[in-house]
Structures are given as structure tokens and as C-alpha cells.
Amino acid sequence: MDTTLPHPKWRLPLLGDLLGVSADRQIEHAVKLARQLGPIYVRKIFNQHIVFVSGADLVTELVDEERFVKHVAPTIVALRPMMADGLFTAYNDEPNLHLGYEVLRPAFSQAAMRRYHETMLDVTRQLLAHWDMGAVADVVGDMTKTTLEIIGRTGFGYSFDSFRRITPHPFVAAMIRALIHAQRSLFRPPVIGNITGWRADRRNAADIAYLNSVVDQVIESRSGAENDDMLALMLNSPLDKVNIRHQIITFLSGGHETTAGALAFALYFLAEHPEVAARARDEVDSVWGEDEPTFEQVAKLRYVRRIVDEALRLWPTAPAFAREARVDTVVGDRLRMRAGDWVVVLTAALQRDPAVWGPDADEFDPDHFSTEAVKGRPKHAFMPFGTGMRACIGRQFALHEAVLVLGMVLRRYDLRPQPDYRLRVRELLTLKPEGFFLTPVRR
């Protein structure tokens, strides 16, 4: 790998380019460096060199499946104690990866989505009933409750009773601690970090054991039962129960985190842009009327979908992915890669590139996704769901869920932001607003 690329100033012995980097603000720091150093640069973290790419022309090459494949980067390897060979964290040559895709693909067909629609509606009704109580809404907390309940019930026939709880379900608390532990473990210095971090490791092992126990209970309660959800597909497949556990934790963790973050960012922007909210509400009223939406009517909210896409553009909840060279190759006539070398595609910078998105690349404007605008830019300038065979299998599930929830919220409420709030972003497995509250006022 070519290490003569642009890199941050003040590289330190042993630590490399860790000066000024917070374990809790890795992505924001990486995007800042992309602005300073350009669409391709290298960082040294301890003894490892990592290349970051964000130029649309370079990314177009990196998504070529004949030359490149997904790389399981250190950020994902850190999650393997929790998810092992689940779809997100499996290595490319692990048998359960391909078997898992084959087994689970029918769970995201249009027929399956039609079955999930009523459950999504029911959970959204619970959210609205909660907001009807008139209190200031903890947006991230409430979106987490909504999306976790949806994936739990549609995928595995399990309810977390999210809206009956004052505090999050213990499963959620354990999962968040495990995600934080995985992220911070990347910044441990070699050798000494394992010695000083033994208490955190012990707590993490207990959290993962608890996650496993909850999921195992779900599996045991369903063994032999007839159903048509994700769990039924897996129980009636060659997947072993340990891998089924890993797949469930993968979907419960990543599947709800990403959509909860996307919804929270979308609600932030809607509260800050009442003219956009009014236009979206007019569309909802026109398309849905006063009735609850059918499955087909959700997809007809084209402007609301633009809002979701624009929120994902500015703050992609999965902000990066890694690509590995299948063969010796050269990217952009400047980056020489041997087979096995890998780079990070920094989606969070790619999707704000002024060369592609224009001088208002940092501004929220759903018309960035008008038909004309989409046709006028490179295909791979917007990649919030990854690419190739390892792209997000639940993309259509997440988009239907997000548009449905936003449509129901917009039709019912005016969204009033908290005075003086300035957007802060929390980084775990995904990105979410931090400390964001709003007041939903019945129309």
C-alpha cells in the first residue's frame, strides 16, 4: 500500500496520527481531514496505515465487484465477539455468510414487506399515543423504541414492550455498552491496553452473555412453531442455532440502530425547516387523506422519501465501509494496491463533496434528490447502504419503515425544536443526534 499519500500533521512515534482524535468522534474527525487533505489520504494508527477515500471518481472504481470486495475492517472485527459470523461481521469466506443471505433474502421480498406493514403501523400507533401525552419528546430514545419494537416483532415475534417502559429494555442497555466497548477498544495501545482494560473486558463479556441469553430464549420459545418471519426462515434452514443467534443480534443491533438514527436526523431537519415539513405534510394529506396508509400508499410519499434520503446524505448512519482489492490494481492512477490491501470509503465525506453536490453540499435540501438532480450526478455519489453483495439486505425494510413513521408523525404534529439546540452527533456502531429533544404539538 502506498503510504506517501497526504496525511495529518504532527505524526507521533508509536501513536501515529492519534493526536486530537477522540474515540467518540472518529467519523467527524475523518471527514474534517478529508476537507483538509483531499479525497484520498492516509492515517497511521499505532503501527497500521489506513487509507481513506471520498472522491466520487475513486469510489466508482472501488465498488467494482470484479476488482474489489468488502473488507471486514477493524471497526467490524471489534464487533465479532457480539455478532461473530452474522451477515454484517462475517468474513467473506465463512460458509454461513452465503448460506445466511440465501436463507434470509425471502424475508425482504415485497410479499414479506406487505406482511410487516401492519406491525409497523401498530408500533407507530404506540409512538403516536406516547407523544399524545404532550411531553417533550426524547427523539433518539423514542425512535430507538420504535425501530427496535418493529424489528423485534416483525422479524422474531418478540416484543420488548418498549413503550411501557420508563427506562430502556436491559437488552438495549447491554447492547449499547457492547458497542461503546467495541469502538473504544480500537484506540487501546498494543499490549498495555489489554492489561489496563481488563475490567471493561469483563463487563463486556457479561453484556454479551446477557444478549446471547435473551436471544436464546427467543429461539427456544419458537422452536417448532409455524410462522413466516425471519426467525421461522432460519429455524427451517440448515443454519445452526449459534449462527441464528448471531444473525438475530445482528438484525436487532444494526437493523434498529441505523433506522432510528435516520429518523432522528430527519426529524431534526424537519423541526429546523418548517417550510419543508409543511410541504411534506401537504403530500401526506393529499396521498393518504385521513385513513391509515396502505402498503402501496407509503411508496407514494415521494417528497417524504427525499427527506429521508437527504438526512442519510448529510448524516449517513452507516458512515463508512471498507473495500479490499481482489487483485493487484491501481485506483485513480495514484493508489497502487496489492491483492488483499484495503481502504475505507468515507461515505460521510463522499456525500458532502461540493464537486458533486454543489456549493450547498452542507445544506439540508430534499431537492438534492429531485429526478433531475439524481440524473445529473455520478451513480455512486450516494451510498448510505454500502455496495455489492454485502450491501444492506434490509434496505427496503428500513426505507418503508422510515417513510411510514415520518408520514404518520407529520400528519399528526407540528414539530417544535428546543430553543438554542445545536446538532451534536453521537458515534457508536452508527451515527445519531445527541441530546435532541422536540415538542410534538397536535395539529
Tell me the per-residue pLDDT of 273-317, one tens digit each, with 9 for 90 and over. Answer: 999 999 999 999 999 999 999 999 999 999 999 999 999 999 999
**pLDDT at residue number 185:** 84
∠ CA 91-92-98, nearest 5°, is 110
- pTM score, two decimals? 0.94
Contacts of 244 (CB under 8 A, 6+ apart): 219, 231, 234, 235
Q: What is the mean pLDDT of the chain?
A: 92
∠ CA 345-105-87, nearest 5°, is 45
Q: If DSSP codes are grouped into helix, strand and coil, which group holds residue 342?
A: strand
- Into which CATH architecture does domain 26-442 fall? Orthogonal Bundle (1.10)
Lookup: cell for 95: 460458509
Clarify whether 385 is annotated catalytic. Answer: yes
Is residue 412 marked as binding? no
> What does the alpha-carbon distance between residue 156 and residue 32 come to, in Å, rounded to a whole number?
40
Q: Which of 94, 84, 98 is nearest to 246 (CA)?
A: 84
Domain boundaries in the chain? 26-442
Cβ count near 149 (within 10 Å):
25
pLDDT, tens digit (0-9, with 9 covering 90-100), for 310-343: 999 999 999 999 999 999 999 998 899 999 999 9
Q: Which residue has the cell 474515540?
A: 23
pLDDT at 401 over 80: yes
Lookup: cell for 299: 411508496
pLDDT band for position 224 (50/70/90)? low
Cβ count near 105 (within 10 Å):
12
Burial letters for 229-245: b for 16+ Cβ neighbours within 10 Å, e otherwise? bbbbbbbeeebeeebbb
Clarify whether 392 is annotated catalytic. Answer: yes
Burial letters for 405-420: b for 16+ Cβ neighbours within 10 Å, e otherwise? bbbbbbbbbbbebeee
Q: Annotated catalytic residue: which of 154, 387, 392, 397?
A: 392
Q: Which of 61, 120, 158, 176 is nearest to 429 (CA)?
A: 176
Q: Which of 416, 411, 408 is nearest to 439 (CA)?
A: 416
Q: Which of 144, 151, 143 is nearest to 107 (CA)?
A: 151
Lookup: cell for 169: 429494555
Lookup: cell for 252: 436487532
What is the percent of the chain where pLDDT is above 90?
A: 78
The HSE-up count of residue 244 (CA atoms within 13 Å, CB side) is 25
Yes or no: say if 77 and 185 are a contact pair by the CB < 8 Å rule. no
Mean pLDDT of the 352-375 span? 96
- Long-range own/partner contacts, residues 38-42 (CB < 8 A, 24 or more apart): 38/6, 39/349, 39/353, 40/5, 40/6, 40/332, 40/334, 40/335, 41/5, 41/6, 41/7, 41/8, 42/2, 42/3, 42/5, 42/6, 42/7
> What does the alpha-carbon distance between residue 190 and residue 186 come to, in Å, rounded to a whole number?
10
**pLDDT at residue number 423:** 96
Yes or no: say if 366 and 306 are a contact pair by the CB < 8 Å rule. yes
Task: Give all strands of the β-sheet with 413-417 in edge-to-edge order.
Answer: 137-138, 437-442, 413-417
> What does the alpha-carbon distance between residue 323 and residue 343 come to, in Å, rounded to a whole number?
6
Q: Annotated catalytic residue: which of 156, 364, 382, 385?
A: 385
